[in-house]
Amino acid sequence: MTETSNWLLNVVIFLPLLFAGLVAFLPSGERTLVRGTTFVGMLLSALASVWLYLDFVPNGPEFQFETRWHWIDALGISYHIGVDGLAVSLILLTGFLGPMVVLASWGTVQNRVKEFHLSLLVLQTAMLGALSSLDIILFYVFWEAMLIPMYLLIGVWGSEDRVMAAVKFFLYTLVGSFLMLVAILAIYFISQPNAGARSFDLATIYNALVGANRELSACLAAGGENCHLSPVAATLKTWGPYLFLAFALAFAIKVPMWPVHTWLPDAHVQAPMAGSIILAGVMLKMGTFGFWRFAFPLFPANGREFQILLAVLAVIGIVYGALMCLAQRDIKKLIAYSSVSHLGFCMLGMLAMSKEGATGSAYQMLNHGVSTGALFLLFGLLYDRGHTRLMADYGGVAKVMPVFAAFFLIITFSSIAVPGTNGFVGEFLVLLGTFKSDFLKYGFGVFAATAVILGAAYMLWMVQRVFFGEPSHREAHHLSDLNAREIVTALPFVVLVLVMGLMPQPFLERIEPASARFVARATLGSPHAPADAARLLRMEVADLPPAESAPKIAALPAAPTPVPAPSPAALQAVEIPPTVRPVETPVRRPIERRFPQLQRVQPSPSARQP
């Protein structure tokens, strides 16, 4: 990592926004120019994200490519960005999906093309910014900024019930966001009780809470009674559970975890193909990323109080999502419910709080973005030809679309974790970490493993009905195979599935240091903390540069010190020199003498008589 590359992360984040400004000035009727400009912006951002990923040093500092500027000094808010191994991997995934989404929707979006691509570009910047933020308020700004463009993508370019799905998505996320904002403000004051130089910087808040969290962990391990806690630790003991739940609810809605998942199937079914790819590929990872970056490191002791409850919800989501897939007849809704199941694996591996489980959780975030994003892409291409989402309306597609069928089958193998694909590596590490943790005695790993069988059942059942057998309708005989543009769009997904499955080490070596730090911080003060946890606890970031000297305003001269009045004896002792004459105060003359023309009018004698 070089000094000049410190600006690289800013380029990755704001390059799509720069091209959004260019697209805003293009004529609305120039559809090809709008699409081409958007694709170039997304492609350049993707290339910059590849450069960022390759330049990241796996065993280097925790946060790299940092930029820290003053923003709102009075409140302790700064523009602070940087990436660790997990963030840089998710940024690579986000950058990769950007140009793919533009290519996939090239011929499908025909109305309000300019506004559609503006929404894509703004959403790309918001997602990249949220993954890079190291100031909690900056993260919250980017987090909220994601809502509006995604709301527009679903509500304007979606299917028949798009408005209902968009409003449901917006309200669910907004409620969780408001609770998280309250918790952010509370932890801002709790972590820095002394008024003065408070800060919303993540590292400042986290490092200030390490001692209090260690005290609280020891207190809870001893039963939680008759503990002599510092004021900050006592406050965390009282209010910490509520603050953790506020963060957890906001992130659980975004994952989504059962039972706050009900907005997701509607959003996926009604969203356009581009919206579904982005939603599955990146936006759902904001929830798991939030647990990883904020909820557990800031509240480790309180988080472990809810560890079993959250694990139960994760396992329910895994099994429930798989069973719901078996009941679906709508292909797009089946893929949506599979997201609920797969993201339950991400949560379970994280909650195991073992190095293997955390690494598998992070790897599964990448896997899900590739495999489920590809499933929505490929089904979107099929829907453009058949104009129906029902399995019963297809059949025998492999005979007329062999290239499409081959691509879809490889992505299906990834989704059901066949060895040699990326899905196998992630799920294997999650289950391994779960069995190595304390969860073994609760049987969470056993219940989660059943979803592997159920996943194979519902995906292969769907493939058999859609691609094999005889066509259900005469129109299925006339479906055309993928064209060159569509092959260029889908092929990178297939390549990634195989590369990440056969050669996972280049990806894992960037994730593992971040996993070790997450486990050390989430298990702070726990008997199950790693032996080397002490060296991984402190969060090291760049210092805030000194503020630029503001233009100085000349200070008003100080008031002169009053001189005491001299005494009469002192006045008599003072001799006035003969050459000095005292200044006489001018006598105020009557106005008639100063202005002769003005004479007082005397009343006549007759006027004085009654």
Parallel, antiparallel or unpaired: strands 77-83 and 64-72: antiparallel
For the segment 108-135, the average pLDDT, to the nearest whole number, is: 93
Window from 35-39, 247-251, 534-538 with minimum mean pLDDT: 534-538
Per cent of the chain over pLDDT 70 is 87
pLDDT of residue 186: 93
- What is the per-residue pLDDT for 233? 87
Give the pair of three-digit tokens for residue 202: 């993540």
Residue 566, pLDDT score: 55
Q: Which two tokens stand for residue 601?
A: 């009018």
Which tokens hold the place of 39?
């694709």
Q: Is the pLDDT of residue 528 over 90?
A: no
Q: What is the mean pLDDT of residues 594-599?
A: 48
Please report, as a single letter, which amino acid is at residue 4. Answer: T
DSSP-H helix ranges across 25-61: 31-55
Per DSSP, helices labelled H in 437-504 are 444-467, 484-502
pLDDT in tens, 280-318: 889 999 999 999 999 999 999 999 889 989 999 999 999
Mean pLDDT of the chain: 85
Q: Which residues contact 467 (CB under 8 A, 6 or more apart)?
A: 394, 396, 397, 398, 405, 408, 409
Higher pLDDT among residues 551 and 238, named by residue: 238
Give the C-alpha separation, 174 to 114, whole Å: 27
Q: What is the pLDDT of residue 476?
A: 62
pLDDT at 2 over 50: no
Residue 585 has pLDDT above 50, yes or no: no
**CB-CB contact of 255 with 287 (8 Å):** yes
Give the pLDDT confidence of 194-203 residue by residue, as tens digits: 766 788 999 9
**pLDDT at position 439:** 63
Asked whether residue 243 carries a pLDDT value surpassing 70, the answer given is: yes
Whether the per-residue pLDDT at 54 is higher than 60: the answer is yes
The pLDDT value recorded for residue 564 is: 56
Amino acid 571: pLDDT: 46
Helices 444-467 and 307-326, packing angle to 10 deg = 20
The pLDDT of residue 473: 67
Q: What is the pLDDT of residue 532?
A: 73
H, E, C per residue of 219-233 = HHHCCCCCCCCCHHH
Residue 134 phi, psi (nearest 5): -115, 5
**pLDDT at 568 > cutoff 70:** no
Give residue for tokens 């059962």.
258
- Phi-psi category of 525—alpha, beta or left, where left has phi over 0 and alpha has psi -120 to 50? left
How confident is the model over 395-411, as pLDDT tens digits? 888 888 899 999 999 99
d(CA 379, CA 408): 9
Q: What is the pLDDT of residue 580?
A: 44
**Over the range 414-442, which residues count as b (16 or more CB within 10 Å of their CB) and which as e?**
bbbbeeebbbbbbbbbbbbbbbebebeee
pLDDT of residue 576: 45
Residue 102 has pLDDT above 90, yes or no: yes
Comparing C-alpha atoms, which of 72, 92, 99, 87 is closest to residue 134? 87
Predicted TM-score (pTM) of the model is: 0.86
Q: What is the DSSP letter of 345?
A: H
Q: Indicate the residue type of 504.
A: P
Which positions ≥6 away from 207 have C-beta within 8 Å?
Answer: 538, 539
Please report which confidence band the pLDDT of residue 560 belongs to, taking 50, 70 and 90 as the band edges. low
pLDDT > 90: percent of the chain: 49
350-380 pLDDT tens trace: 998 888 999 999 999 999 999 999 999 999 9
Residue 40 reports pLDDT greater than 60? yes
Other CB atoms within 10 A of residue 68 CB = 18
